[in-house]
Homo-oligomer: A and B are copies of this chain.
Amino acid sequence: MGKLRFRISISLDGYVAGPEQSVDNPLGIGGTRLHEWVFPLAAFRAQHGMEGGIVNDSTDVVNDSMANVGATIMGRNMFGGHPGPWKASDPWNGWWGENPPYHRPVFVITHHPREPLRLEGGNTFNFVTDGIESALEQARRVAGDKDVEFVGGATVANEYLEAGLIDAMDLSVAPILLGGGARMFDGVGDALTHFALERTIAEPKVTHYRFVRR
């Protein structure tokens, strides 16, 4: 059985999105700065169907994050759109257009049932309404021997951490202070002491930490 791997970009003051998130500003005020380290990378651009870009010490982090992943899990807020039940007349289909960058089954944790959404490039979004453990079980079933990645956001991340289900955690810390927003690790308490630091990679725009369960 593969691991459950969690990766996320976080500010120095512990936020994974800025204040006042909305459909028009999904990462909140200043939140785009969390990801400035990744946008110029050739490895990131290729994943999103773009040519060119640079190679630096973060390249391995991006390549590692894509290797040996059989399924993706995310929270409803990360899938995005309006809150509450899905609108049959004008359904929200994610932030990523017709061909999202996952290219594998994605499991969206939500309170509101919905039929699977099939987009281009092998992207199938399945909506899971019976909790984080069910999502992990379903994701593991389709992932086979490969790992499952969980990509946020903060609310579901804290639930997975509290449940002790995350095997490896890649935190990419942007040296910025957002001053508010979606707070990671809030109230998770002692669950966090079960991780050991395996690797640190520092760049001017980001420091990558890899934690593994002891």
Residues of A whose CB lies within 8 Å of any CB of B are: 12-14, 30, 171, 173, 175-180, 184-185, 187-193, 195, 197, 200-204, 207, 209, 211
User: How many whole Å from A162's CB to the nearest CB in chain B?
Assistant: 10
A179 and B185 within 8 A (CB): yes
| Assembled-state Cα–Cα distance A55/B197 (Å) | 22
| Assembled-state Cα–Cα distance A171/B171 (Å) | 18
| Assembled-state Cα–Cα distance A34/B123 (Å) | 42
- A207-B200, A209-B12 are known contacts. Are A192 and B179 too (CB-CB below 8 A)? yes
Quick one: closest B residue to A29, CB to CB?
A: B190
Chain B positions within 8 Å of A179 at CB level: 185, 188-193
Chain B positions within 8 Å of A177 at CB level: 185, 188, 192-193, 195
Quick one: closest B residue to A206, CB to CB?
A: B200
User: How many whole Å from A155's CB to the nearest CB in chain B?
Assistant: 15
